[in-house]
Amino acid sequence: MQIRLTPHFTQLISDAALKSFWRKPALRSFLQQCGVSESLLATWHGDETKRDFLSRLFPKLHESDAGQQVVVKIAYYLMEQTTFPDLKGWEDSSNMIQDAYTAVERLKAFYREQKEQIEKEISQEESQKLLREYQKKIAESQQSLEKLNEGLNNLSKELGTQGAGYKFQDWFYDLMRFCEIIHRKPYVQDGRQIDGSITVKDTTYLVELKFTRPQAGAPDIDIFRGKVETKADNTMGIMVSISGYSSVAINAASGNKTPLLLFDHGHLYLCLTGIMSFGDVIDRLKRNASQTGRAYLNASEFGS
């Protein structure tokens, strides 16, 4: 069976590799055993982090069939791990090993799901044809994410300028199209400007987009909450503030049965790097809001 090297699967491989090896020499040795060429390994300079090197390595390996087979071998070897010798002997070894085990289990789970799906779809006669289609989709998906990421980086140079907010609206709905999320672009209702809406798992979310240098404040929350609470009972609200939120704003958005979920640049980064889908980020924030009453959870705390 051929593995589909989707951006999300590649990210899971990278995450498992990062968490399975703490020392650079140990990770280098592992990659060498998996078939990564010495010429590629030689480009890893001493001041470059493991994460930065892997972020360069995997796109390079995707360029050729031989390189893709190396990625597959890396995935297989990571999934075969039952112990993590490079993580032993550190002060925080128990947590490091648990994080590595969790990352490997996530990789295994995604692989199992993918395997079951492929086995349903592929017959032996058409496997080569479908494989070419998968590779094309992988390339298109990677190019789309790279284009979205580049677009946001370029747009960040205009942060605070007139018209940047409208460009950010266009960019956001390009992201929704890529994520295949049902959406409606900005509109005006009853004299109120609505930055659009999205629908995920039968829940409709009004969207408020803020592309400003200052953090979103409590008045921004109050105005948006007013827009949401005039809609149907099952309507919620998603605010995306590229510069984040003041503590007062977070407190204003939080509370018993809060209808608001707060996104910032960190949550968008999870989507642009393929770590999580936008729908999964919504589920994580919504679950946290249900459990704690807090409308905001920093992306770095998703694993806690």
Burial track 82-108 (b if 16+ CB lie within 10 A, e otherwise): eebebbeeeeeeeebbebbbebbeebb
Per-residue pLDDT band for 43 (boundaries 50, 70, 90) equals very high
Answering whether pTM is above 0.75, one says no
Q: Is the pLDDT of residue 4 over 90?
A: no
Residues ≥6 apart with Cβ < 8 Å to 182: 198, 199, 200
> Is residue 22 a contact partner of residue 100, using CB atoms and an 8 Å limit?
no
Q: What is the pLDDT of residue 32?
A: 95
DSSP SS3 for 200: strand
What is the mean pLDDT of the segment spanning 9-37? 94
The DSSP string of 207-229 is: EEEE--SSPB-HHHHHHHHHHHH
Task: Report whether 260 contacts 295 (CB < 8 A).
Answer: yes
**Pairwise CA distance, residues 215 & 222, whole Å:** 14
Q: What kind and span of H or E run contains 71?
A: helix 65-79
User: Is residue 290's pLDDT more than 70?
Assistant: yes
> Above 70 in pLDDT, residue 123?
no
In whole angstroms, what is the distance from residue 86 CA to residue 137 CA?
A: 36
Tens digit of each residue's pLDDT (9 = 90 or more) over 191-219: 778 899 999 988 999 999 999 999 999 99
- What are the tokens at 49? 């982090």
Question: What is the spatial distance between Cα 89 and Cα 288, in angstroms, rounded to a whole number?
Answer: 34
Percent composition of the chain: helix, strand, coil (DSSP 3-state, to 5)? 60, 10, 30
When pLDDT is averaged across residues 73-77 and rounded to a whole number, the result is 94
CA distance 188 to 67: 51
Which amino acid would we find at residue 138?
A: I
| 78-108 residue pLDDT tens | 999 989 999 999 999 999 999 999 999 999 9
Sign of CA dihedral 11, 16, 17, 19: positive
| Res 202: pLDDT | 87
Report which DSSP code applies to 274.
T
Sign of CA dihedral 27, 32, 33, 34: positive
pLDDT at position 120 is: 75
Contact indicator for 214, 244 with CB cutoff of 8 Å: no
